[in-house]
Every structure is written in C-alpha cells, then in structure tokens.
Structure 1
Amino acid sequence: MGRTLVLRGGTVVDGTGGPPLSADVAVRDGSVVAVGHRLAGDESRDCAGHVVSPGFIDTHSHSDVKVLADPALPMKVRQGITLEVFGQDGISVAPVKEPERAAWKQKLAGLLGDFGVDWDWSSVAGYLRRVSWARPAPDVAYLAPHGAIRQCVLGGEDRRATAEETAAMQALLRQALAEGACGMSTGLIYPPCCYADTAELVAFGRVLAEAHRPLVVHMRSESDRMREAVEEMVRVARESGCGVHISHLKLAGRNNWGRVDEMLGIVERAQADGLHLTADQYPYVAGSTLLGAVLPPWAHDGGTEATLARLRDGATRARMKQAMSDPGPADWDNFWSWSGPEGIIVADVPSGRHPEWLGKSLAEVARLRGQDPFEAAFDLLLEERMGVAMISFSQDDAVVERIFSRPWVNACTDGLLGGRPHPRAYGTYPRILGRYVREKGLVSLEEAVRKLTSQAARAFGFEGCGLVRPGYRANLVVFDPSTVADRATFEEPALFSSGIRDVLVGGELVVRDGEMTRARPGKIVD
C-alpha cells in the first residue's frame, strides 16, 4: 500500500454540478480514497482558499505527435488538463500502411507538427506503445481516425465505398478498438473523410454502437449548410444507435450567426427523442486547422500529389480562385469567404522556412511576396507540400457564449502546437473559469467544472474519472477561483495561465505551486 496524500481544507467542487463542500480529499495508489474532514495521511497540501476539482478533460486535442517529443505537455497540464483525447478530425497517425508513412506524415505536418519524431508504427497498438514508452504527464486516449482507415482501404479517391470496402473498413475499426482506441473520429471537410456518404458513417456507427463507443465528428458544414450537417448527425445516431459527439460546435460566417438557436434546437429535439448527441467547444472566435482547408473539396481528390498537380496548373488555380471568391452560400465550408485573406493567419510552417511569416495574415504574406493573396496561398501550399497551419477568424462572441451555456456542451482546446499556435492551446480552461464564470457569470462555478470534467467523461464513456469520488482516478486540480485566468493572446500565444496551483494525475503532482514537476504518471485510457 502506497503513501496517502491529503489535500486539506479546500473547497471541493466535485464535478457533479452539485454545491461545493469544504472538505479534505485523500488519495493513494492512484485513486481518491476518501472525501471528508480531518482525514489522516502521510503528507498533506494546504488547499485553504482554493478549489479542489476533478482534472479537466480535453476532448479534442492535437498533441498526437508532440507527446512523443515533449511528453510533459506543459501547455496542457498547466491549465489543469489531466486527460487528452488524440486522433481527431478523422486524420491522425494510425493506422497507416508502411509504404505511405512518409506521405501521411507530410500531409499531417500542418495539423500535428513534425517535432523531429520518427514514425515507426503502422497500427493503433504500435502508436499507443510509443506513447506509453514516452511516459506522458497526462492520461491519453486515442480515437480511430476515419480518414486513416479509409486511406488504408480506398486510398485518396473521391467515391463511395463498395459493400466489400465498407466491410474492410469496419474490420479495421474493430481492430483499432481492440487495440485501445476509445471511439472513432471523422472530419467531413477533410479528405478522404469528406468523400464518405452518410451510409458509410452509419456503417461505422453500428460497429461503435456494439462497443458502446462514440463517433466524434467535425461536421460537413459549420456555416451555410449547417442544418443539413446537423441533421446528418441526427440520422447517423438514429440509424446506427451510437452516440454522436460534435466537435468544436460553432457557426462560422457573419451571415450564419443568427441561426444559433436553429442549430441548438435540432440537437435538443433529437435528444428529447432519446438520441445521444453531445458536443464540445473552445471559447474563442477564431479556429485553427490546415491551410489546405481553404481549397474546395474537389481540389483534394486523389490525395496530396493530385492536389499539388492541380496547384501547378494555371487553369485549375483559376477555377479554385473562382470557387473561393464566390460570396454566395456554399455547399462546402469556404474559409476564404468568412474573413478574406485578412482574417487568415499563418500559424505554422513545419519545414522551418520563412519564420517571419508566422503570425501574419495571408494578406500581409501576399504583400511581402508581391503577389495576389490567392496566388500567395496557392504557392505557399505548393512549396510546403500542403504542410501549413492557419488561424481563421470567423465567429462571434455572443454565439460562442450561447453554445457554451448548453448543458450538453463540454470544453476542448482543439490546440495545434507547432509554430505560432492559437492561444487556446495554452489558455482554454482558465479562460472559461476566469472569463465565463468569474467575470461574466455565464455559468456557475459548479456547472463550469461539471462541463469540464464529468460531462466530457460521460460523452466519451470514460469510466472512473471526472468526479472527486472515492474509487475514481485521482486526477485533480487545485486552483484559485479569484485569480485563475488565461494569459495567452493571439499576439503572444505561448503564455501559461495563472491561478492553477497544483495538478495531480493518478495521485501524483505533475504541477506543484504552478510549476511542472518531473512526474509523468499518465496512462492510456480506452
């Protein structure tokens, strides 16, 4: 039996949403063993004036490669995150065919970074072994990515899967779940995921329903075709029986901001019918993803090499420009139309070339290059073989807050970690506690903690975490509710937050008095 650590005299906000309790929390051998008064222990931490809560769960993380280069993940742990979910948007690191590793690594460099990591795995099991050997500070879960599975069976082709191909993909999903995946993700604006029809998603959903695992979805549209996109998620949930979790729920583009209640209403009517739909969200008006997402979907047909060939062809570039500059409603998420090149910021160029462009808008980069913004974007993608990340301003604070107020929405960072990252990678959770709770009173402290912890665990089916309760994993955060705040900005995005004093993973202090320790007790969660 190990030593007992007592967090003494804090205000316990236990993750249920119920009232706070002044109490001690005792942890031993990785678990909470008691919550009460005058608890005995071998060591104690005075938590008077602080909240003791469950560790925060980041249900949409892009630390898949970074964890192998910097397993401490201080940008996450120091904001109170004790569990990260990798494998997002249907495009991640495993499974991957060995001959395609280099090409897939290059394709994902803008999203996941490079960090000098050698990819020596092919399966989900092989990747998770590498993560375990790295000894991460937080716990880690991994979603089987739809696009990676589709690439293994169909390659990058823009077509429907045959019955035989669908069965082969279902088999790969079952294998990934058996190897430790906690569910499946898809990104229906990203190739090759975007080439799947609804029937393919339903087929995957049936496998997930058998295993009681979620389908985690970046929808086909977060803008003009929002209604059709949300209704597709309702159909998948209804026809497959699986839970559907909508990633980074938002409404992009000024013309769509007034439709927020329409969007929320579709989800809540489906919930009233007994379907399990949930969502997550980050508390910012800008997103971040691959710069290649600005291109129309047809430009990606056939994979990266085919896209690069199109970018070399003047007539095809003209066709892309025409589609991207169309101001009317689009049947695809047209990032360019939401903000123009002024609102699209270069966040990462993993090759290391042109570091002076990081943090500059595409309009500024175009001026520096002496080019039209469209041509500058096309050339940048061509020169970097699609390996570029962007930040895109497209949302509205009032809409973001309206979405966050819903009880079925939990938080996430969606944080890309290369180059000059979005500030959400460093500040999401303290921003919610400081801005939404203390300053704006958007939700109570108890409700915010529930959304950051047990609601996230419930949406993903994670058992034994998300509450301060005997028998639960001792993933805990000690923070000062009067000072907790984000410090990261778009101008200075890599600033750690304030007010997070201690963070425990499996009962071990990974942050003590606001600073990282050497402990790396994270485990794989499935």
Structure 2
Amino acid sequence: MLIKNALLIDGTGKERFKADLLIEKDGIKEIKQEISTNDKTIINAEGYIVCPGFIDTHSHSDLKLFDDPYVEPKIRQGITTEILGQDGVSVAPLLPEYLGVWQKNLAGLDGVIKSMDWEWQTVADYFHLLAKKKIAPNIAYLVPHGNVRMEVMGLENRKATLAELEDMKVVIRREMEAGAIGFSTGLIYPPCAYADTEELLALCKVVKDCDGVFVVHQRSEADQIIDSMKEIILIAKKTGVKIHFSHFKICGRNNWNKIDQVEELLDEAGKYTQVSFDQYPYIAGSTMLSVILPPWVHDGGTEMAIERLKDESVRKRIISDIENGLPGWDNFIEFAGFDGIYITDTRTEKNSKYIGKNLLEIAELRKQKPFEAVFDFLIEEEIAVGMYDYYGREEDVVRLMCRPEQNVCTDGLLGGKPHPRVYGTYPRILGRYVREKGVISLEKAIYKMSCKPAQVFNLKDRGLIEEGKKADLLIFDENKIIDKATFTEPCQFPEGIQFVIVNGQIVISKGIKHNIRPGEIIKRG
C-alpha cells in the first residue's frame, strides 16, 4: 500500500511534514518525499493528516470482542490498540468454581455475553481464544488484582496471610510470563478494595521485577484523594514500580480546591519512578451502579450483597453509611447526588425503560423513596447495572489534559445507552480541545494518543510513524474531525475520519467497515 501526498504527524510531538508512506505487509517500510508506484494500492491523502493509530489505555472490551470483534465504536474513532484487564476486575485468570459469581460481579463493567462459553482459566487461555476468534484492533492485557485475589483466597473481606501473598505473587508472575504487560487494581471494587497497602507493596515487587506497569484506580478520587495518592506514591517509592493512574480526576464540588495539592503530588511521584495517568475529556464518569454501596455490602460476592439488600435492618445500616460516610470510601451519592447518576445499561428487558434516567426519576416512576427504589432495582438486576455520574468541572479537565503525565483513554463501558466517551473521546479532543479551544496543538494531542501511551506501556513497535514500526494508521480531516455522541444520543460515530489501518490492512475507509480482522495480541517483551 502506498499513501501519497500525506501530511504526516508522526506521534513524537514534532511538527507535521509532507511525505509519501510505503506499507509492506504489516509494517511501515519507507517514508520519503516521493515514492514511485508499482502495482500497489494507492491512497491519495492530499489535504489530510496521517498519524499513528490511537492507543486506548483504559478499555473494557474484554468480553465485547467475542460478540463484536471489531468493537466498532472504538475502531471508528481511530483506536487501533486497546489495553484490557482494567480496574482489577476482568476475565482472567478465573477458576471454574468462581465462574457464576464472577460473571455477575463483572457484568456492570464488561457486560454479559450470553452466547459465549467461558472456555478459559488463565491469561494464556484467553489470548488463545481471542487469536482463534480474530479481532480488528490490537489488544494488550493487564493482570487484574481481583481475579488474582479470588484465585488464592476467594472473595472474603480480610487481610491476606503471608502464605496467600506468596501465592498471589506466583499467579501474577505466571500471567505476566504469559504476556500480560502489567497489573491493575480497582481499590473501590471488591475484592480489590479489601487489600491493604502491605498487600499492594508485596504484589508490586513482582510487577517491578517483570518490568510491568502498576495501573491503579485509586481508593479515592473524591474526599480522600490526597491520602489515596500518598498511598500510591509510597508504593512507588518502596518498590520502584511504574505507576499509571486510571481515569485521573477530582470528584465532587467540595474537592475541586484540591487541584493544586494533586498536581504537587504528581510532581513528587515523578521523583521516584515513571508516573503517568489517562483521562477522558468529560466531566462525567461511568461505572457500575453497585459502587454506591459501602464496600462491606459486597463481602462474599454478588449473592451475599443481594441477600443483604433484601434485609430491612441491613438496609438501614447501608443508608446510614451513605448519609454519614465511611473513612476512605468514595461516596457517589454524596458527590453526584441521586439526580446526577444516570442508568446506561440493565440486565433485564423489564427494567430497560430506566436507561437514560437518573436515580431520582427512577424513584418517582417506581413510586418509592430513592434509597428503596435503588436497592430494589439492584436486586432485580442482580447488581448488573451500568451508570454514569456527574462529578467534575471543565477547567480541571483542561488543566490535567496539559500535564506531561497525561495520555488519552475512553474507559468505555459498551452496553446499553453508554457514556458518549465510548463513541467520541478521541475526535472530541481533536475537534473541541485542539481545533475549537486551542488547548493543545494537534501534534501534541496526537503524541498523547499514540507515542506517549506506547512509551508508558512499553509497546515498542506501535505509536509512531517510523520505518520498521507496525502500520497502525489513521487518515483524517483536521478541519472536520469531531465527536457526535452526546449523553442523550451517545451511539453516534464521529465525523472527519477517512481511513483506519491496522497492521497494514484497511479496516475503515470513507465510512465503510471492511470484513477484515487484522488485530494482534501484544504480549510483554
């Protein structure tokens, strides 16, 4: 394939330049001012930007790839590589005896694929099945803390013994040797939330030994964010492990004044190790509705949580903890409110009528008080409910976007009526924050979407337009690229993207999806 007359933005952050680009098989063979043609597929890119394909460093496509191997909302916004295994809650490793309870726990983040047999136990098994399925994007994987903890000690809310810590270290090493590029945790999600700092220190020593990245949804992004960051910095200082904060933000009006302290802590962390974070360009987030419940409610898994929600005396305790707060726990009802939390996905058809409505509206429709309505709703859905919540302010989004540690992500939950970031994250930055607002240059934005994340996660052959690199490429109109997805109508593809190329093969051309799945599994080393 020959791309002629391109304006190349190579991913380094340097200024664009005009050149032709020759692709041979899955790689970039030659870049120079003029390349002659010999019976090759030719794309005339006159007037368009050609840049590296985007790397989504926080993706929840782990199960969706079996149902939609294109993950079309991602590919159509220029994402050619996704990093799975996020928030410490994912698909592998997974012992058969925990399959049923873990499917329910996972449903709020990664959805439910009813037509699929869960034929894997380890990361190696999962990779084998994805390769057999054939997928359009490239993927890499993080070892999820919750799965590791579950394999060794079940779903109990307790401190790990020294023997259990050693067993968890063995599991992490096994899965990183199978090709995982790092280790993730979600310290608001059970069972990760039950781990203390000593557990994280012990496990991160293995991650450091394997030259992996510690990817962390920290304990608090709200009231306790300063203490939460200090815990992660302590881990970096004591182990030297590379730190990557997931979907970095400050939640709740009462905490917006902490932005200066937060930036000071980022500066401090950089003294000890490589520090980075990803961010999506919105003031609302998205996760499982069950996070509104105090962590102790989830002790023992989904079935136990449902039984507790059915108990009137336990409900009173839950309400008291939400109204009064718990030390170190992010209280979503407090910082977003019943009217600031909207439903994106449900397990049952019966309750799909609530998708797009906030918790206050749902209570009114059910003719119940808000707490009772939410608890009954969670019981009916077996906890498997997705939501988005309003937490932030635009000036902080912009301020963090300009930090040197930042790269872009979607954190896209793919079911139902999703957060618009699933369809619009990358074009939104290029159209709104680059072209319309001038927050950062186009070259710098492309760097934060390609080369920067490749460097953070040690993806050596991606993220740059350079001879010898993989031919993951995007061709777009810088004057037209823009997101179309909104909170009310999120399932809309962006405008302005002409071609998406994965490993030298055209996946999208001028709005047309091609029946081709050239994605690769990118393994550590």
TM > 0.5 fold call? yes
Report what 1:205 is aligned to: 204
**Contact in 1 for aligned 2:236/2:269 (Cα 8 Å):** no
1:144-182 alpha-carbon deviations (Å, 9 max, x no partner): 100011011111111111111001001000111122211
Report the alpha carbon displacement of residue 370 of structure 1 after superposing the two structures with TM.
0.7
3-state SS in 1 of match to 2:392:
coil
Q: What residue number does 1:247 align with?
A: 246
Moved more, 55-64 or 230-239: 230-239
Aligned sequence identity (%): 43
Match of residue 27, structure 1, among 10, 14, 23? 23
- 1:293 Cα offset (Å): 0.2
Aligned counterpart, 2:483: 486
Q: Tell me what 2:48 maps to.
A: 50
Summarize deviations over 1:117-168 as a string: whole Å, max 9, x none: 2212111111111111121101011111000110111111111111110010
Aligned twin of 2:164: 165
The normalised TM-score by structure 1 is 0.97
Q: Which residue of 1 aligns with 2:80?
A: 82
Does the CA contact (< 8 Å) of 2:280 and 2:409 recur in 1? yes
**Counterpart secondary structure, 2:350:** coil
Deviation at 1:516, TM superposition (A): 1.2
SS of the residue aligned with 2:7? Answer: strand
Matches within 5 A, 1:482-521: 482-521=479-518
Deviation at 1:311, TM superposition (A): 0.6
1:386-430 Cα shifts (integer Å, max 9, x gaps): 111111111111111111111210000000001111100000000
Quote the Cα distance in structure 2 between the aligned partners of 1:407 and 1:33. 31
What is the match of residue 356 of structure 2? 359
Q: Aligned ranges for residues 109-148 of structure 1 at < 5 Å?
A: 109-116=107-114, 117-148=116-147
Q: Is the Cα–Cα contact under 8 Å of residues 294 and 321 in structure 2 kept in the other structure?
A: yes
Distance 2:443 2:227 in 1: 34
Instruction: Identify the residue that residue 429 of structure 1 maps to in structure 2.
Output: 426
Query: How far apart, CA to CA, are the structure 1 residues paired with 2:160 and 2:236?
Result: 20
RMSD value over aligned CA atoms?
Answer: 1.1
Q: TM-score, normalised by structure 2?
A: 0.97
Q: Deviations over 1:98-124 (max 9, x none)?
A: 121122112211211113222121111
| Structure 2 residue aligned with 1:237 | 236
CA contact (8 A) 1:68 1:130 kept: no
Q: What is the rounded CA distance, in whole Å, between the counterparts of 1:475 and 1:77 in structure 2?
A: 11
Aligned to 1:18: 14
Give the one of 323, 326, 333 matched to 1:325.
323
After alignment, is 52-61 or 310-319 more displaced?
310-319
Q: Deviations over 1:316-354 (max 9, x none)?
A: 11111122123x785211000012111111111123332
CA contact (8 A) 1:224 1:329 kept: no
Cross-structure match for 1:344 = 341
Check whether the contact 2:58–2:411 (CA below 8 A) recurs between aligned residues.
yes
Counting only pairs closer than 5 Å after superposition, residues 305-320 of structure 1 correspond to structure 2 as 305-320=303-318
Q: Say how many residue pairs are matched.
A: 520
Could you tell me whether the CA contact under 8 Å between 1:282 and 1:424 is conserved in 2?
A: yes
Unaligned runs of 5+ in 1: none
Q: Which moved more, 1:317-326 or 1:341-350?
A: 317-326
Q: Once the two structures are superposed, what CA deviation does each residue of 1:61-94 show, in whole Å capped at 9, x if it has no partner? A: 0011110011011100000000001110000011
Distance 2:458 2:388 in 1: 31
Shift of 1:40: 3.0
Instruction: Give the structure 2 partner of residue 370 of structure 1.
Output: 367
Tell me how far 1:274 sits from its aligned partner.
4.0
Contact 2:240 2:272 in 1 (8 A): no
Which runs of 5 or more structure 2 residues have no equivalent in the other structure?
Answer: none
In the alignment, is the contact (CA less than 8 A) between 1:350 and 1:418 conserved in 2?
A: no
Separation in structure 1 between the aligned mates of residue 373 and residue 106 of structure 2, nearest angstrom: 21
Provide the secondary structure at the position in 2 that maps to 1:216.
Answer: strand
Q: Contact 1:138 / 1:520 at 8 angstroms: preserved in 2? A: yes
